[in-house]
Structure 1
Amino acid sequence: MTANSNRVTAGQIAEMLNGTLVGDPEVTVGWVNLIEDAEPDELAFVGSLKEISRISQSRAGIVIVPTEAGDQSDSWPGRTLIFVQHPEVGFLTIAEHIRPPRPRANVGVSPHAVVHPTATVGARTNVHPMAVIERDVVIGEFCDIGPGTVIGAGTVIGDETTIDANAVIYPDVEIGSHCELHAGCVIGGIGFGYRQENGHHVRLPHVGRVRIGDDVHIGSCTIVDRGKAGDTTIDSGTRIDGQVMIAHNCRIGKHNLLISQTGLAGSVTTGEYVVCAGQAGIADHVHLGDHAIIGAKTGVHRDMQGGRAYLGIPARDAAEHAREQMALKRLPDLRDTVKELQKQISGMQEQLDQLNSSDSSGTRDAA
């Protein structure tokens, strides 16, 4: 527990979540934890019926559980339980109440930051020590530019956007309002494009930009390259995890989810609400349709129709991939079956050969 945490009773939690309380309404907690690690002074949750047995082994003072487990409340006598429709959402709501976010500092432009005289920094924006704001940058109001961050010349940033420590924003990038760019991300660097000349790899110019819409989150150490000609774009509402690679001229649609270590080669385009799970790899110039789901470690080399889930290398319909995997699991048994059948066939062939030999001998004797 930390100094800025609040204590709360089971009765108060049930009221805040509009949940059903079973147990002592006066039980008090001052912290939150995972169900297996929680102490009597802590709140925990179980997210589904398949996890419900974990309550018995938990020491948590209060447990938030799914509504559909209400008929099992007698299974845990003496426990304080709160039944809600969405346990994880309720748990995180109370977690923020117990430990509210630290208030935003209002430090202004640090004297230890480097801000070019031609740059414009909006009202109530914080520029932390060692940040570098280059010429002709425009930053909106209520932004936070973390320590060690570099904002390249000509970049434009909307209102209430946070760029954490040591991020690098190359020149002429556009970033919308209400965005979050986490530590160490690199936006707008030159793409990986070369041609071979006289036995050497010669870099191709990349004269495009990166344009990021409103309410976009980009995780730590993610890379978004600038366009070769034209822009790399990330549309509003998209969430990008840490360590994702987005190459030159990709066009990412609204409300996508790109999970850690996903890699998009040049000129990939996506529709709306596309999901790429961890370590998915998308080949260049591929299009992913609206609501397509690309499973973890899937390799995509052609356009994928929207509204479907895909798995495997190469990517194919998830149900088809599952059938293939089930068939592969049966291969050892099938191999044994085939070997046994081969033995039986060999035996039958020997018997048939003997019969044919006997018939031939009988015919010669009769002659």
Structure 2
Amino acid sequence: MDQKEITVEALADLVGGRVVGNGAKKITGFAPIETAGLDDVTFLADKKRLSLLADKEFDTVIVPHDVEEAFGKILIQVRNPYLAVALIHNYFLEKPFVAKGVHPRAFVGEGSRLGKEVTVAPMAVIGDNVTIGERVLIESGAVIGDNVSIGDDTVIHANVTVYKECVIGNRVSIHSGTVVGSDGYGYATDEKGEHVKRPQTGIVRIGDDVEIGANACIDRAAYGETHIKAGGKIDNLVHVAHNVVVGENCLLVAQTGIAGSTTLGRNVVMGGQSASSGHIHIGDRVMIAGRGAVHNDQPDGALLGGTPAIDFKQWAKASAVFNKLPALQAAVRKNSKAIKQLQGSVDGEDNKGESGK
């Protein structure tokens, strides 16, 4: 494979940075500080740790914008080193799509339309009347149900299942073991206590530039759509229930669960093992700390923690007190006992006074 080569100046232009030093230096890769070589670019996010750059082989470092000098290294000054690293690392890893066509051991159903540039790996199964765009990779063991639509530049990793009639956008990545479009959890209970299944006849719609981790479950709607809007990033082992709407650019961290018919605004962040009840609205830019459980509507910009979730600052104060509760309880008992004794003494003196009258 041909190695990419780019000047420091061009890398700085790519990330909106400023070069201090030799901008004509040629860079051929990215690596962390521990392993970076002479022609690699590396990064340092915390200027307090500049000493890590001393006596290292590499020449070029991405640094915060207020770092002006670091052991004679060539610097790319940026406002957000982590964002710059992501852009540069992706640049070096990016490869042109190689279309291998449909493997003889894959199955494609009747009436399906596949782009001219696709790769369908062995043992993948594509149902009837499926539409697949250009530069799409379907890995081994993936199952694509009837009447599914998949946009351009999408990757369906091994052993993913996409149930019938679901819609997958452009530049989507779905990792192994994830299930898109399984039935939502809906039952009605009769007078005998027996549970009657409510039909789940809707679909799942996944917008452009969404990434879904491994072993996540996105349930189809009871009717209408479960919708993951553009730019969402969903971690491993997340469950999104029927008729949920996840707004643009939301982050759902591992083991998050969202109950049915809840809607999330834009740029919501739900920490690991957090959850929401059903039929509520969580506004734009809300952040929920790990294990937080939201039970009611939340306004834009709310910061929440705890179960049930409350204002984050209040939750942090309550958490700090929690470890002190045994000592506080002992102090309350001791003080209560002392108050009783004091009250007894006061009552005794009052009784003596009454007797002397």
TM-score, with normalisation over the residues of structure 2? Answer: 0.82
Unaligned runs of 5+ in 1: none
Q: Distance in 2 between matches of 1:43 and 1:195?
A: 59
Correspondence for 1:263? 257
Alpha-carbon contact 1:270-1:289 (below 8 Å) kept: yes
Residue 135 (str. 1) matches residue 133 (str. 2)? no
Q: Distance in 2 between matches of 1:139 and 1:12?
A: 36
Correspondence for 1:54? 49
**Displacement of 1:82 after TM fit?**
4.0
**Displacement of 1:297 after TM fit?**
0.9
Q: Distance in 2 between matches of 1:221 and 1:148?
A: 14
Q: How big is each residue's C-alpha offset from its partner over 1:138-194, in whole Å with a ceiling of 9 and x where there is no partner?
A: 222332222221111111223333222221111111222332222222111112233
Q: Distance in 1 between matches of 2:303 and 2:246?
A: 18
SS in 1 for 2:177: coil
Unaligned runs of 5+ in 2: none
Q: Say which of 243, 247, 254 aligns to 1:253.
A: 247
Correspondence for 1:107? 100
How has the CA–CA distance of structure 1 residues 9 and 209 changed in structure 2, closer, same or farther, with 3 Å as cutoff? closer
Q: Say which of 168, 184, 187 aligns to 1:175.
A: 168
How has the CA–CA distance of structure 1 residues 289 and 53 changed in structure 2, closer, same or farther, with 3 Å as cutoff? closer
Q: Structure 1 stretch 84-93 or stretch 276-285: which is displaced more?
A: 84-93
Q: Say which of 74, 81, 88 aligns to 1:87.
A: 81
The total of aligned residue pairs comes to 351
Q: Distance in 2 between matches of 1:236 and 1:212?
A: 7
Correspondence for 1:224? 218
Supply the AA of the counterpart residue of 1:254.
E
How has the CA–CA distance of structure 1 residues 332 and 68 changed in structure 2, closer, same or farther, with 3 Å as cutoff? farther
**Displacement of 1:354 after TM fit?**
8.5
Q: Distance in 2 between matches of 1:268 and 1:291?
A: 15
SS in 2 for 1:310: strand
Q: Distance in 2 between matches of 1:129 and 1:109?
A: 8
Correspondence for 1:187? 180
How has the CA–CA distance of structure 1 residues 93 and 171 changed in structure 2, closer, same or farther, with 3 Å as cutoff? closer
**Displacement of 1:7 after TM fit?**
6.4
Q: How big is each residue's C-alpha offset from its partner over 1:62-108, in whole Å with a ceiling of 9 and x where there is no partner?
A: 432212233xx4xx5455544332222333344345x3323211112
Q: Distance in 2 between matches of 1:350 and 1:164?
A: 76
Correspondence for 1:19? 18
Q: Say which of 222, 226, 233 aligns to 2:227.
A: 233
Correspondence for 1:69? 67
How has the CA–CA distance of structure 1 residues 265 and 7 changed in structure 2, closer, same or farther, with 3 Å as cutoff? same
**Matched residues, percent identical?**
34
Q: Say which of 143, 149, 154 aligns to 1:156.
A: 149
**Displacement of 1:202 after TM fit?**
4.6
